[in-house]
Structure 1
Amino acid sequence: MVERTRVIEIVPYHPEWKIEFEKIKSMILSYISDLIIKIDHVGSTSVEGLAAKPIIDVDVVIESYDVLPEVIERLAKEGFQHEGNLGVEGREAFKRTLDDGYMKYHLYVCPKDGKGYLEHIALRDYLRENETAREQYAALKYKLAEDHRYNIDHYIEGKNDFVTGILKKVL
């Protein structure tokens, strides 16, 4: 069951997010490093200077879906539940079933040529390089969080046109 009542909070960028990502990355590597290509920090917390929900987005990149069953099995042993793609093509979501002491994060496993992964990287890189877009996106996120404080679906929906506009430019 997806939690719908939590408060949507946008906070200014924090340099600690890079450090938290590296800790999470090390943990994941210790479980599946031999099965993957790399681990990328994506989402708003990966863009220096961008306000964000304080949740790290982590993309674990695999060569192909051939290794996914083994990834699922190993991550399950370490307390991760496979949730499927949650409606996003080219991205498999995993939920942590125990408190590991890390900052809150979302874990995704993506094939290197998967749509979800390619879009994450394209958006991240564009926002890293474009200060105006970064400022516009932050302003939009603050407004949406205020307008839809308890409705993550409406918050996400409100960002769609902005994100799609960037992806059309860069992909």
Structure 2
Amino acid sequence: MIHLAPYNPDWPQRYQQEKKLLLSQAGQWITAIEHIGSTAVPGLTAKPIIDILIGVDLLQIADQCIVPTIIKLGYNYICQYEKELPERRYFQRLNDQGLHTHHIHLVETTSDFWQRHLLFRDYLRTHPTVAQQYAEHKLELAPQFTDSNDYAGAKTDFIQTTLASAKNNN
């Protein structure tokens, strides 16, 4: 079963701490850094994992400079998804119990990945009714899955519908 938690007001602070660390170690190559995912939406039920979106000008520079730095900070570099998403570099940090605490998504700021994730987050932040519907949808799905990728896939229709609404509102 996918573990979801009620919103924790400490999540933004945990993001800010990690952002400060990342910028202190790799800031010269980072164009922008954002808190994304459900932990970035006040009041939203979420997997208690801080998702961080790092934006760069060129992924080739990131591969040479930022990827090794993030690994040195204790993140696992998960390259297996690059066949499906070649525009993203993905990292996970685990705690002592082997549970995920942070994810980093490293992309170019001009990418569709960057735009989509910020649009979805911002729409949920400004549309609490939709955020509540999303929470209910996630709570309904979570007991049905043990694999995070399958769970994420099951949320796709809701996310796509929400993104379409968000694009129409811009």
Task: Specify the TM-score bucket, using the shorter chain as the normaliser.
Answer: 0.7 to 0.9
> Once the two structures are aligned, what percentage of the paired residues are identical?
30
Change (3 A) 1:97 1:42: closer
* Aligned CA-pair RMSD: 2.0
For residues 38-88 of structure 1, the C-alpha deviation after alignment (integer angstroms, 9 at most, x for no partner) is 210000000001110100100111112242121123223333343237233
TM-score, normalised by the number of residues in structure 2: 0.85
Partner of 1:20: 14
Q: Distance in 2 between matches of 1:14 and 1:156?
A: 21
Superposition misfits of 4+ residues, deviation over 4 angstroms: none
Partner of 1:151: 147
Match of 1:61 among 42, 48, 55: 55
Q: Distance in 1 between matches of 2:79 and 2:111?
A: 14
Please report how far the alpha carbon of residue 108 of structure 1 lies from its aligned counterpart in structure 2 after TM superposition. 1.3
Any gaps of 5 or more consecutive residues in structure 1? 1-6
Match of 1:71 among 58, 63, 66: 66
Partner of 1:137: 134
**Is this contact kept in 1: 2:59–2:87, CA < 8 A?**
no
Please tell me whether residue 160 in structure 1 is matched to residue 156 in structure 2.
Answer: yes
1:104 partner SS: strand
Moved more, 48-57 or 69-78: 69-78
Aligned residues: 161
TM-score, normalised by the number of residues in structure 1: 0.84
Any gaps of 5 or more consecutive residues in structure 2? none
Q: Distance in 1 between matches of 2:149 and 2:60?
A: 32
